Amino acid sequence: MNQAARVLIVEDDDTLRDALCDTIEFGGYRAVAAGNGREALSRMESESFDMVISDVQMDEMDGHGLLREVRNRKPEMPFVMMTAHGSVRDAVSAMRDGATDYLLKPFEAQVLLDMVARMQPTAEAGLPIVAEDPSSQQLCALAQRLAPSDATVLISGESGCGKEVLARFIHNESNRAEKPFLAINCAAIPENMLESMLFGYEKGAYTGAHQSRPGKFEQANGGSLLLDEISEMDLGLQAKLLRVLQEREVERLGGTKLIPLDVRVIATTNRQLEDEVREGTFREDLYYRLNVLPLHLPPLRERRGDILPLAKLFLNRYATVPGAYFDESAESALVKQAWRGNVRELENCVQRAVILARSNVLSECDIVLADQFEVSADAPAPAATARPALEGDLKLREQELILQALDATGGSRKETAEKLGISPRTLRYKLARMREQGISLPASA
């Protein structure tokens, strides 16, 4: 998926704040927590977010105060106010002050995730695609040629190399451009939730389904649906997906009505699906159904002509001072890197360089890779943005343990989760994050 949307959660109740952040993270997004409006504003000064979800009543600065400040500083930022059930006045005044939407507490996890998904497209719709390397230009030309067709596209490529950007490009170049483009990350969402998110559900379909909801297929009707990291979908759900693709209609969970679909499906994978088919973890019939128009996106190190144009795009996006540019030493350092985490790693690196730089000229010493940044105790970074060394160490240790367990179980996700004493969905979530950082994982058994 494109870099997961970053959601700033502002809530003074510790337990609720943790639960909200967990839900957001399990939905495949990034959550950052703040305990009140003032803390939220200071986080917004040093980090970028795609939306804010805030409580109303908090000490220091309440939700209304925060909303006013956010509107002054970032008029376009999606802002959702969480108001207490029964206090419609708060919701109305929030909307009047420019909130994008509101959530009445208490709400189901799914309601929160739907809200985040709804807020997302405006934040990401206008992403430009950088394609300067001759191989990228050829790929874009090919993507443009196949965009008008309704056939399914399967985009393969390493994590973070821009598969979602390419998928959006295809959508934007198609006749469906004016219709919705929706994305769902099959790796980061728990299986039972993934099914209901894809196909929707009727009220009472399962405990907690208090109201009927359309699934992503229905929401994307007329447009395109991106199934990100399709190889992570379990076999049972693969069968259901195949049926929907073949029949071109969907039935909500607990429903009785078949809803006709006109959706262009684009799937992405960072694994070799042929291998997964051979190993029996991916259905052969679904593979052929998806692989009508295969596109392979090479890793960034194999299209070095894209590195500097991308770095400049990100510099424009993140620079806080006018006229920021890379000097020659920075440019040659950027081009030389291996970029195992591909474009996402490059983007993070430029974001860090902007923070580290002491002037508008960024030089080689500002180009610091993530691993150097986390372990270096005397990194000259402001405390608010540097990850504490302990947290970095723990994360590395956790990743080592996961890799060891995968090794010992021959790649079996189920056995690895059991061995580590965590749920398969937690493991899947952690693996998705590791993949995003460019860590290569053994194929699943």
Ligand X SMILES: Nc1ncnc2c1ncn2[C@@H]1O[C@H](COP(=O)(O)OP(=O)(O)OP(=O)(O)O)[C@@H](O)[C@H]1O
Interface contacts to ligand X, rule CB under 6 A? 1-3, 127-131, 157, 159-165, 228, 268, 270, 310, 313, 343-344, 347, 436
Residue number with CB closer to ligand X (213 or 303): 303
Q: Based on CB atoms, which residue is closest to ligand X, 90 or 331? A: 331
Q: What's the one-letter identity of residue 140? A: C
Residue 53's DSSP bridge partners are 9, 80
User: Least Å distance between CB 109 and ligand X?
Assistant: 22
Rounded distance between C-alpha atoms, residue 160 and residue 300, angstroms: 9
* Pick 82 or 161: Cβ nearer ligand X: 161
The nearer residue to ligand X, 317 or 358, going by C-beta atoms, is 317
217 neighbors 236 (Cβ within 8 angstroms): no
Determine the residue with CB nearest ligand X: 162
Minimum separation from the CB atom of position 163 to ligand X (A) = 3
Return d(Cα 8, Cα 272) in angstroms, integer: 35
Choice between 253 and 290, CB closer to ligand X: 290
Give the nearest distance from C-beta 168 to ligand X in angstroms: 8
- Please state the closest distance from residue 65 (CB atom) to ligand X, in A: 31
Of 158 and 251, which CB lies nearer to ligand X in the complex structure? 158
| Burial tier of 145 (Cβ tally within 10 Å: 0-12, 13-18, 19+) | exposed
Q: How many CB atoms lie within 10 A of CB 409?
A: 19
Q: Which is nearer to ligand X, 298 or 392 (CB)?
A: 298
Q: Which is nearer to ligand X, 61 or 183 (CB)?
A: 183
- Residue 248 Rama label (left phi>0; alpha psi -120 to 50; beta): left
**Shortest distance, position 187 Cβ to ligand X, whole Å:** 8
For residues 241 and 191, the answer to whether their CB atoms sit within 8 Å is no
**Nearest distance, CB of residue 436 and ligand X, angstroms:** 5
Rounded Cα gap, residues 90 and 94, in angstroms: 6
Between CA 377 and CA 389 the distance in angstroms is: 7
Give CA–CA dist 406/375, Å, rounded: 25
Strands 249-250 and 259-260: antiparallel
Residues 6 or more apart whose Cβ sits within 8 Å of residue 13: 55
Residue of 217, 179, 163, 155 lying closest to 2 (CA atoms): 163
Judge contact between 282 and 273, C-beta under 8 A: yes
Nearest distance, CB of residue 347 and ligand X, angstroms = 5
Residue 432 CB, nearest distance to ligand X (Å)? 8
